[in-house]
Amino acid sequence: MADTMDIPREEVLLGRCCECGIGLDPRTHPTMTCVNCLQARADIAEGVCPNGQLFKCRRCQRYCGGATTYVACEPESRELMAICLKRVRGLKRVRVADAAWIWTEPHSMRLKVRLTIQKEVAPGAILQKPLDCEFVVRNQQCTDCRQQFENFAWTAAVQVRQRVSHKRTFFYLEQAILKKNAQAAAVKIEQFRDGLDFFFRQRNDAVRFVQFLKDCVPCRVKETKKLVSAGAISASRGSAVPSRHRCDS
């Protein structure tokens, strides 16, 4: 009895693994199976796809975060990490304990993330393992940039002209537009020798802009409509009728 009490507590084997027979403590191994046997029997990464794709707009450098949502992300940022995790299929089956970036060459069009995943494989038995995920970055134009390049990105245009030798009134008008940010709804602005053209997606935005010009300076407004149609475009979109407002001062 005395000899038994002299044996250190940590050296007393209280149980053995049911598969390989290695000694273990039932208090820390309720399944009576060692970690090596649990890992050999259960792959917690099964069903998790480590490969995926990310879409990035080449023009504005934003990443696709949803169906039509594009988000500006810094390299190796938390925002970009969140988008990457959304692209990992089957990740809901496990718990993500940690996530870290793996360096990749900037022009490789690849992003790599090292995940530490956990999963309960038996009552009281939780396994953990690292999982490296790789994402291929594909170029895909975002909705905003695509609309700026399409022929029918705008439905209304406002042409502002001043036909005098001096441009004092026009300079005053430019400052008023910038001060009130009246051009915010314009998708494109073109400069000409005697004025500017403002293009809008919605006709109501153009009407509000014309009213702003009328409130700032005396001007004469002329509205015209031009029918624009083509065979291939008409089949899918129908005829479009862009309107033009010409403001002369």
CA–CA dist 170, 165 (Å, integer): 11
CA–CA dist 87, 78 (Å, integer): 15
Identify the band that residue 3 occupies on the pLDDT scale cut at 50, 70 and 90. low
CA–CA dist 221, 207 (Å, integer): 11
pLDDT surpasses 50 at 228: no
Place of tokens 């975060």: 65
Identify the band that residue 68 occupies on the pLDDT scale cut at 50, 70 and 90. confident
Looking at residue 235, its pLDDT comes to: 30
Q: By mean pLDDT, which of 12-16, 54-58, 180-184 is the weakest?
A: 12-16
Q: Please tell me which residue, 43 or 207, carries the higher pLDDT value.
A: 207
Looking at residue 104, its pLDDT comes to: 92
pTM of the model as a whole: 0.53
Computed over every residue of the chain, the mean pLDDT equals 80
134 Cβ contact list (under 8 Å, min separation 6): 50, 51, 52, 110, 111, 112
Instruction: Please give the structure tokens belonging to residue 123.
Output: 């009552």
Q: Give the highest mean pLDDT range of 72-76, 123-127, 133-137, 192-196.
A: 133-137
Question: How many angstroms separate the Cα of 232 from the Cα of each of 10, 39, 229, 241?
Answer: 82, 60, 9, 16
Looking at residue 81, its pLDDT comes to: 95
Ramachandran class of 137: left when φ > 0, alpha when ψ lies in -120 to 50, beta otherwise? beta
Q: Please tell me which residue, 4 or 65, carries the higher pLDDT value.
A: 65
Q: Which amino acid is at 200?
A: F
